[in-house]
């Protein structure tokens, strides 16, 4: 039996699945937590990957592996391959001013959308590099190469494979020219064009003042390390691109992922360029494109509501289902981390419509879930496609309350695939694809969730959304 491994190094944790290459049957899995915060030393990702691999029973019997990771994070390496500073993650908003400057310098949002398919906000790597050049010039000068979280982990794996697994933790960094990436993750940098398939080093030079070494961009099915050992390494990709593969998204589908980020994305045969900036024109992991809208506030809104109400996530869901749709007018605008779409990096969350009657844990629980889903309903609208199917995935989709409330907010049925690790599965799929050239994995049918639409929920949310305070008092 040939086995493949898929890794999901996402914001909150690292997950590893080991599947049978021919059928996709799940054989073993493991996971390990990442530290909190929006800047993280990449060594923590490597340590978590090793713990998750160990929990999954190791990779000795695995023929191919692929790593998917949180998009956009800035990993700077010096000439010897050592990390220059903690990586700034996709949800770190300190580069919001740099983003605004870069947009103005190129002549406005349309110029960016035409150049790289997306209008950069603080999440994009290019804005983080501008921030670094302005605020930490010594670190900027030491930066010989820039890569993304999945690129860095793939590169560390490439360097470790020659050693037995117990020694992987101590594997020295490989040469910088072994760094590779893929179209999907490259498209989140702000200096690679999905339409032309080429780096825009001119934009990088303007933003950062220099052009460090960049990872080689591989096609969807290519070895990340040529002439490697017995285990092959696929190119990997960004976590949303891997999720699209893992869930088997096809043209006509919109996938809504409720993880740390909230994302809504569709598979497209053509590149997109939205000058409003709401839709990022990413590439996918198959050679196609993945227009995507991302919010900074999704599953953690429920974590916060659970803390506020003093219950666990299961109880939070039960409470939410006790309150009526619309929570009797209690409305929560979920900008707890600032927001990316709409681009309000300094915003805070707010609660409106408090009365003696709505001041209950059940109302707050319902308002939190509805508010988070309203942000995603806005994301679905921004995608401007008429989906045949809306598929709900991510940690937050494990909540029955989310699955039952989503159709009332979205105004249409949603399909919930069986709970699973679809990002890691997508990576495993890519590894199987590398081995066999084609993959025929069967999947279980998603459960259909239907409910009467309640348009008043979004109407009230739209009325309250502009009434927010910034985080600077
Ligand atoms: N049963 C559940 N109900 C609600 N939320 C859940 C449940 N299980 C997990 N989650 C949420 O899933 C989130 C993690 O989702 P995940 O997709 O793994 O995130 P990421 O990929 O960003 O690291 C946590 O914030 C947690 O709140
Ligand atoms: O920035 C984006 C998409 O553009 C995020 O979706 C990150 O890729 C993080 O994903 P999760 O950890 O929330 O899955």
**At 161, is the pLDDT very low, low, confident or very high (cuts 50, 70, 90)?**
confident
31 lines ligand 1 (CB under 6 A): no
When pLDDT is cut at 50, 70 and 90, the band that residue 92 belongs to is very high
Residue 209 has pLDDT above 90, yes or no: yes
Tell how far the Cα of 394 is from the centroid of ligand 1, in angstroms: 7
Whole-number pLDDT of residue 227:
62
Q: Is 261 in the pocket of ligand 2 (CB under 6 A)?
A: yes
Q: Which one of 159-163, 224-228, 462-466 scores highest in mean pLDDT?
A: 462-466
Query: To test the ligand 2 pocket, which listed residue (12, 31, 71) has its Cβ within 8 A of the most ligand atoms?
Result: 71
How does residue 297 score in pLDDT terms, banded at 50, 70 and 90?
very high
> For residues 268 and 256, what is the distance between their CA atoms, to the nearest angstrom?
15
Out of 70, 72, 258, mutate this one to test ligand 2's pocket (max ligand atoms within 8 Å of CB): namely 70
Q: Which of 12, 66, 45 is nearest to 434 (CA)?
A: 66
Question: Across residues 188-212, what is the average pLDDT?
Answer: 98
Q: Is the minimum distance from the CB of 240 to ligand 1 under 6 angstroms?
A: no
Residue 164 pLDDT exceeds 90: no
pLDDT of residue 170: 87
299 lines ligand 1 (CB under 6 A): yes
Residue pair 249/426 in contact (Cβ under 8 Å)? The answer is no
b/e per residue 364-381 (b: at least 16 CB within 10 A)? bbbbbbbbbbbbbbbbbe
Give the residue from 403, 395, 408, 303 showing the smallest Cα distance to 349: 303
Residue-averaged pLDDT of the chain = 96
In this structure, what token pair is assigned to residue 82?
């050592």
Check whether 226 has a pLDDT greater than 90: no
CA distance 136 to 133: 6
Average pLDDT over residues 446-455: 98
* 71 known member of a binding site: yes
The reported pTM is 0.97
């Amino acid at each position: 039996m040939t086995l493949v491994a898929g890794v999901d190094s996402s914001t909150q944790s690292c997950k590893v699945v080991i599947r049978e290459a021919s059928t996709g049957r799940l054989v073993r899995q493991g996971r390990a937590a990442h530290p909190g915060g929006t800047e993280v030393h990449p060594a923590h990702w490597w340590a978590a990957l090793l713990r998750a691999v160990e929990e999954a029973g190791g990779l000795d019997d695995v023929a191919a592996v692929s790593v998917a990771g949180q998009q956009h994070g800035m990993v700077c390496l010096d000439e010897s391959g050592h990390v220059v500073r903690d990586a700034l993650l996709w949800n770190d908003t300190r580069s919001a001013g740099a983003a605004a400057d870069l947009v103005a310098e190129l002549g406005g949002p349309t110029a960016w959308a035409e150049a790289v398919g997306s209008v950069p906000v603080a999440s994009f790597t290019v804005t983080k590099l501008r921030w670094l050049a302005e605020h930490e010039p010594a670190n900027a000068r030491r930066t010989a190469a820039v890569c993304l979280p999945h690129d860095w982990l793939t590169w560390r794996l490439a360097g470790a494979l020659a050693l037995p697994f117990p020694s992987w933790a101590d594997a020295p960094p490989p040469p910088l020219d072994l760094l590779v990436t893929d179209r999907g993750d490259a498209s989140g940098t702000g200096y690679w064009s999905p339409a032309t398939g080429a780096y825009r080093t001119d934009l990088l030079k303007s933003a950062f003042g220099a052009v460090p070494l960049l990872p080689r961009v591989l096609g969807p099915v290519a070895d990340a390390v040529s002439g490697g050992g017995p285990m092959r390494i696929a190119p990997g990709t960004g976590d949303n691109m891997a999720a699209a593969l893992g869930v088997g998204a096809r043209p006509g589908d919109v996938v809504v992922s409720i993880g740390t980020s909230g994302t809504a994305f569709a598979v497209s045969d053509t590149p997109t360029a939205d000058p409003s900036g709401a839709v990022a024109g990413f590439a996918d992991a198959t050679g196609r494109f993945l227009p995507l809208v991302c919010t900074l506030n999704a599953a953690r809104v429920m974590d916060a509501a659970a803390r506020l109400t003093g219950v666990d996530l299961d109880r939070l869901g039960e409470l939410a289902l006790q309150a009526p749709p619309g929570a009797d007018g209690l409305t929560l605008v979920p900008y707890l981390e600032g927001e990316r779409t709409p681009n309000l990096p300094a915003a805070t969350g707010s609660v409106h419509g408090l009365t003696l009657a709505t001041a209950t844990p059940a109302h707050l629980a319902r308002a939190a879930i509805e508010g988070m889903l309203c942000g995603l309903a806005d994301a679905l609208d921004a995608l401007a496609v008429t989906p045949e199917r809306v598929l709900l995935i991510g940690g937050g989709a494990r909540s029955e309350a989310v699955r039952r409330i989503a159709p009332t907010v979205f105004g249409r049925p949603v399909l919930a695939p069986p709970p699973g690790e679809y990002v890691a599965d997508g990576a495993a799929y890519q590894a199987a694809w590398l081995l066999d050239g084609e993959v025929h994995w069967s999947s279980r049918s998603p459960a259909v969730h239907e409910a009467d639409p309640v348009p008043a929920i979004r109407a009230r949310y739209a009325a309250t959304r502009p009434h927010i305070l910034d985080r600077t008092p």
